Amino acid sequence: MKSKVILSLLLVFTAMTAAAQWKVTGFNQDAQTIELLQVVPTDEGTVVYARYTSQKANNFVRLSTNARIKANGKTYKIKDAVNLPIEDEAEPRWLYFAKAGEKCNYMMLFETFPVENGFEYIASDDSPKYNVTDITVQPIDEKDVMNTQDFLNETPVTIFGKYATDGDWTMYYIHDDVSVICRATSFIRGFMEPNSKEFYVTITNDSPHGVLFDLDKVYVKGLKNEKDGRKEISLALYEPSSYEKLKVSEDYEAAARAIGEDGYAAYKLRQEAKRTHSQVARVGSLIIADMMDKQSRNKINEYLKEHKGERMAPMRTNSIKSGETYEGYIASKKKKGYKTAIYIPIAGSTYEYIWP
């Protein structure tokens, strides 16, 4: 999603200056997660080649905006990076490691700093064990500098990110040019039950080969943190056939919610009027509803007309060819007091999405 940044960095990395280029010959790091390999000056700054090794499974890692180099008594800020995301408040992104021992080759671009006398890399102010100190270097010939593309491609990475839209969080994983995007929402086509959770899912396959989405392998859990650890319970998925039994009136409810609080409140009053046995209460509810949604009804009808044919179908098992996108929705039961986690297996990986 930041391809223009990656592209510009790759162009920078290929525009090497005639300055000396360096191999890292020694360093210290307590966490033993970061290995520094080479340092290459460019016209835009100094590039550090590095490798990260995850010490645990299900690990999310990113660079701090305060990551920096200390050299000759001065500080040099990080400017950008490739393969390892830098923290971002608007759209947080992490590198995801499914297993302990997985590695990631990455490159960091810093403000130009002097290399020959050694330097320090400050990765974190909160956890000094991740900082790299006593870094020593020796010059190397330009022909011995690592090929940028080969170096990055040596360790395929999985990126996890999320962003907010109208109060709903969208989460995504990207690996080997396959993206799996999931958005939880309070309603889909009006499919609303007190104990249900609904998800929009979009799978885009930009890889050169096909992938299989197997609905039978999708599962949902309820998660709750307790004193003795995390408690997990299994939650049932709704069968796709149950989604298709939705009535037009239920789509009307979704539209009412979409156009605002007044429209939805009026809609609920009308529903209450249908259910009450009191003629007085029924008439009273209808009068109030008429007052509230005189304009809302037109908005709802316009909404339904505008979005006619756009509503997604429930997801089923599907082969997704190269260059194709498959999308739809999945609904499951939920449990009060538990977070809802949906697990979507695709292309040999299983991706976890956790929702309040």
Model confidence pLDDT, tens digit, residues 287-346? 444 444 455 556 555 655 565 544 567 899 999 999 999 988 888 888 989 999 999 999
Residues 297 and 324 grouped into a single domain: no
Residues 184 and 333 grouped into a single domain: yes
Task: With respect to residue 211, please indicate whether it lies within any of the assigned structural domains.
Answer: yes
**Which pLDDT band, with edges at 50, 70 and 90, does 35 fall under?**
very high
Task: With respect to residue 159, please indicate whether it lies within any of the assigned structural domains.
Answer: no
Is the per-residue pLDDT at 99 higher than 70? Answer: yes
User: Which CATH number is 83's domain given?
Assistant: 2.60.40
Are 140 and 22 in contact, with CB atoms under 8 Å apart?
yes
- Residue 28 has a pLDDT of 94
- Residue 18 has a pLDDT of 46
pLDDT average, residue stretch 13-19 = 50
Q: Which amino acid is at 206?
A: D
How far apart are alpha carbons 166 and 171 in whole angstroms? 14
Q: What is the mean pLDDT of the chain?
A: 80
Are 303 and 259 in contact, with CB atoms under 8 Å apart?
yes
Task: With respect to residue 158, please indicate whether it lies within any of the assigned structural domains.
Answer: no
Residues 185 and 261 grouped into a single domain: no
pLDDT tens-digit map of 58-90:
999 999 999 999 999 999 999 999 999 999 888
Task: With respect to residue 160, please indicate whether it lies within any of the assigned structural domains.
Answer: no
Are 112 and 46 in contact, with CB atoms under 8 Å apart?
yes
Closest CA to 329 of 231, 228, 221, 187: 187
Residues 17 and 48 grouped into a single domain: yes
Closest CA to 267 of 276, 254, 248: 254
- According to DSSP, the β-strands at 339-346 and 325-333 are unpaired
Is the per-residue pLDDT at 12 higher than 90? Answer: no
Task: With respect to residue 161, please indicate whether it lies within any of the assigned structural domains.
Answer: no
- Residue 53 has a pLDDT of 96
Residues 66 and 191 grouped into a single domain: no
Residues 133 and 98 grouped into a single domain: yes
Residues 282 and 319 grouped into a single domain: no
Residues 210 and 233 grouped into a single domain: yes
Residues 274 and 217 grouped into a single domain: no
Closest CA to 257 of 314, 315, 185, 197: 185
Residue 35 exposure: Cα atoms within 13 Å on the Cβ side: 9
pLDDT average, residue stretch 184-206 = 71
**Which pLDDT band, with edges at 50, 70 and 90, does 186 fall under?**
low
Could you tell me the CA-to-CA distances from 312 to 96, 191, 316, 328 in Å, in that order? 29, 12, 12, 5
Task: With respect to residue 237, please indicate whether it lies within any of the assigned structural domains.
Answer: yes
Per the rule left: phi > 0, alpha: psi between -120 and 50, beta: everything else, 115 is alpha
Range of the domain at 51: 3-153
Are 288 and 258 in contact, with CB atoms under 8 Å apart?
no
Residues 115 and 47 grouped into a single domain: yes
Residues 9 and 71 grouped into a single domain: yes
Residue that terminates a domain, selected from 125, 153, 181: 153
How far apart are alpha carbons 50 and 108 in whole angstroms? 8
Residues 120 and 17 grouped into a single domain: yes
Contacts with 222 (C-beta within 8 Å, 6 or more apart), sequence order? 232, 233, 234, 235, 334, 335, 338, 339, 340, 341
Task: With respect to residue 285, please indicate whether it lies within any of the assigned structural domains.
Answer: yes
Are 105 and 83 in contact, with CB atoms under 8 Å apart?
yes
pLDDT tens-digit map of 208-266:
999 999 999 999 999 999 888 889 999 999 887 776 544 344 455 555 544 454 444 54
Partnered with residue 198 across adjacent β-strands are 185, 331
Is the per-residue pLDDT at 143 higher than 50? Answer: yes
Task: With respect to residue 340, please indicate whether it lies within any of the assigned structural domains.
Answer: yes
Is the per-residue pLDDT at 278 higher than 60? Answer: no
Q: How many structural domains compose the chain?
A: 3
Is the per-residue pLDDT at 1 higher than 50? Answer: no
> Would you state the structure tokens that stand for residue 65, as one six-digit string?
């905006």
Are 304 and 256 in contact, with CB atoms under 8 Å apart?
no
